[in-house]
């Protein structure tokens, strides 16, 4: 197998996060000689974290300029690491940071990039990248003759590497930080338990537009819908998805679930998250929505309509019931 450079950036605490460790597993399973390239303010702790991974070299670009995610500095660091390692293959986790910077780096190096890889495997001795096309409807396995070949690996496709931490020797690669116009003054984010998108959750809970429609009594119960859904998310630690109809309503300022944004949308024009289980409530289960459930292993839905899309082979279990009643009961059981 060709030699491999694994690119990883450190997190705020100086360590490597799960996606980087998953990409490390992928690189190791592929089998070529491994070089690790680290980027961050400090990289010694991260190098120590993966000291037992068997890498032939660990290279690092360090300094204050490389602590913050920013295209210009990330691309400069990655380019320097690729040149110093000189490997034909470059593997990196598809974090927002690398997804933004590495296509430009591949261009600078005269190479090629493939994003959203879901598998890396040897095919007749050569590396091959698996990815989905046409909104996750077709899966292809690609080989390429161009080098360097950069592959951005999606999270959740490989187990995170685990192994002995220790002391690792790191070769510094010096890079003059490019001029930047952006200064990062801080990060504003909601508390972690207010985040509704939780990629690591065991369950995806999808809310559809039915939550905001007139119910049997002729009235809309959006406020109760909010309480039921948020209550369930808190106790089940589930991730929240929405149908397109529901997230579009939010944008129009109608009676809606206020915590629902376009980032929650699941489907053909939304996200295709990976969770072991999914529960849909008040969502019709139309094909453009359900195509986003491709990687949900066990699917259940609650709908008043026994003829809804879920009933047509799209869910493992369909509860023909009023989702307000069901979720009230579920929440009281969880409490
Ligand atoms: C090109 C294209 C791309 C698209 N991309 C996407 C996409 O990425 N994601 C997506 O979601 N959609 C997408 N759509 C839209 C999709 O086809 C559907 O229109 C949308 O998913 C419908 O949303 P919904 O099921 O929430 O709403 P509705 O179709 O309005 O269904 C609401 C459901 O709630 C049920 N309901 C109401 N009250 C209750 C209750 N008390 N208890 C239980 N059930 C109840 C009703 O029976 C009904 O089935 C796309 C469409 C096109 C044309």
What does the pLDDT read at residue 193?
A: 65
What does the pLDDT read at residue 254?
A: 66
For the Cβ of 323 lying below 6 angstroms from any atom of ligand 1, the answer is yes
Give the residue from 191, 275, 190 showing the smallest Cα distance to 240: 275
Sequence-ordered list of residues with C-beta below 8 angstroms from that of 195, at least 6 positions apart, any chain: none
For the Cβ of 305 lying below 6 angstroms from any atom of ligand 1, the answer is yes
Give the residue from 277, 301, 276 showing the smallest Cα distance to 289: 301
Ligand 1 center from residue 74 Cα (angstroms): 40
Give the residue from 328, 326, 279 showing the smallest Cα distance to 304: 326
Query: Could you tell me if residue 30 is left (phi over 0), alpha (psi between -120 and 50 degrees) or otherwise beta?
Result: alpha
Task: Indicate whether this model's pTM tops 0.85.
Answer: no
For the Cβ of 26 lying below 6 angstroms from any atom of ligand 1, the answer is no
Residue whose structure tokens are 């493992």 = 316
**Contact yes or no for 89/151 (Cβ under 8 A):** yes
Q: How many CA atoms lie within 13 A of 319 on its CB side?
A: 15
Instruction: From 284, 319, 327, give the residue whose CB has the most ligand 1 atoms within 8 Å, as the site to mutate.
Output: 284
Looking from the CA of residue 245, the nearest atom of ligand 1 is 23
pLDDT tens over the chain, length 335 residues: 999 999 999 999 999 999 999 999 999 999 999 999 999 999 999 999 999 999 999 999 999 999 999 999 999 999 999 999 999 999 999 999 999 999 999 999 999 999 999 999 999 889 999 998 877 778 999 999 999 999 999 998 999 999 999 999 999 999 999 999 888 888 787 776 678 999 889 999 999 999 999 999 999 999 999 999 999 999 999 999 999 999 988 666 666 778 888 999 999 999 999 999 999 999 999 999 999 999 999 999 999 999 999 999 999 999 999 999 999 999 999 99
State how far Cα 35 lies from the chain centre.
Answer: 24
**Contact yes or no for 15/7 (Cβ under 8 A):** no
For the Cβ of 288 lying below 6 angstroms from any atom of ligand 1, the answer is yes
- Partners of 59 in the beta sheet? 37, 171
Instruction: From 300, 303, 319, 323, give the residue whose CB has the most ligand 1 atoms within 8 Å, as the site to mutate.
Output: 303
Say how far apart CA 234 and CA 247 lie, in whole Å: 20
For the Cβ of 282 lying below 6 angstroms from any atom of ligand 1, the answer is yes
Ligand 1 center from residue 283 Cα (angstroms): 5
Looking from the CA of residue 270, the nearest atom of ligand 1 is 8
Looking from the CA of residue 208, the nearest atom of ligand 1 is 26
Ligand 1 center from residue 285 Cα (angstroms): 6
Burial of 45 (0-12, 13-18, 19+ CB in 10 A): middle
For the Cβ of 210 lying below 6 angstroms from any atom of ligand 1, the answer is yes
Q: Whose CA is nearest to atom 51 of ligand 1?
A: 288
What does the pLDDT read at residue 194?
A: 74
For the Cβ of 302 lying below 6 angstroms from any atom of ligand 1, the answer is yes
The two three-digit tokens of residue 144, written as one number: 């390429």
What does the pLDDT read at residue 310?
A: 98
**Contact yes or no for 208/284 (Cβ under 8 A):** yes
Query: Could you tell me if residue 107 is left (phi over 0), alpha (psi between -120 and 50 degrees) or otherwise beta?
Result: alpha
Ligand 1 center from residue 297 Cα (angstroms): 21
Ligand 1 center from residue 175 Cα (angstroms): 51
For the Cβ of 280 lying below 6 angstroms from any atom of ligand 1, the answer is no
For the Cβ of 257 lying below 6 angstroms from any atom of ligand 1, the answer is no
Say how far apart CA 247 and CA 84 lie, in whole Å: 46
What does the pLDDT read at residue 243?
A: 97
Burial of 259 (0-12, 13-18, 19+ CB in 10 A): middle
Ligand 1 center from residue 308 Cα (angstroms): 10
**Contact yes or no for 7/19 (Cβ under 8 A):** no
Residue whose structure tokens are 């590396």 = 127
Residue whose structure tokens are 């508390």 = 191
């Amino acid at each position: 197998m060709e030699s491999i450079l694994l690119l990883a950036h450190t997190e705020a605490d100086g360590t490597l996060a799960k996606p980087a460790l998953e990409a490390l597993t992928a690189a190791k399973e592929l089998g070529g000689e491994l070089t690790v390239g680290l980027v961050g303010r400090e990289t010694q702790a991260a190098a120590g974290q993966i000291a037992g991974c068997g890498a032939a070299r660990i290279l690092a670009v360090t300094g204050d300029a490389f602590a913050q995610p920013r295209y210009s500095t990330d691309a400069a660091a990655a380019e320097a690491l690729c040149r110093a390692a000189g490997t034909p293959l470059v593997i990196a986790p598809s974090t927002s940071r690398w997804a933004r910077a590495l296509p430009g780096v591949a261009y600078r190096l005269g190479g090629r990039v493939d994003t959203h890889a879901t598998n890396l495997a040897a095919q007749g001795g050569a590396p091959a990248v698996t990815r989905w096309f046409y909104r996750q409807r077709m899966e292809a396995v690609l080989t390429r003759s161009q080098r360097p070949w950069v592959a951005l690996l999606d999270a959740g496709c490989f187990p995170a590497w685990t192994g002995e931490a220790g002391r690792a020797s790191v070769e510094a690669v010096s890079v003059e930080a490019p001029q930047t116009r952006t200064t990062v003054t801080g990060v504003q984010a909601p508390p972690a338990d207010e985040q509704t998108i939780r990629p690591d959750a065991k369950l995806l809970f999808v809310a559809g537009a039915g939550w905001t429609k007139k119910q049997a009594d002729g009235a809309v119960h959006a406020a109760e819908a909010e309480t039921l859904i948020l209550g369930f998310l808190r106790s089940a630690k589930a991730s929240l998805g929405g149908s397109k109809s529901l997230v579009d309503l939010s944008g129009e300022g109608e009676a809606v679930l206020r915590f629902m944004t376009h980032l929650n949308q699941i489907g053909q024009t939304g996200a295709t998250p990976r969770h072991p289980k999914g529960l849909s409530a008040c969502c019709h289960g139309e094909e453009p929505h359900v195509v986003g459930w491709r990687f949900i292993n066990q699917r259940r839905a609650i709908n008043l309509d026994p003829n809804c899309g879920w009933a047509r082979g799209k869910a493992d279990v369909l509860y023909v019931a009023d989702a307000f009643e069901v979720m009230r009961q579920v929440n009281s059981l969880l409490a």
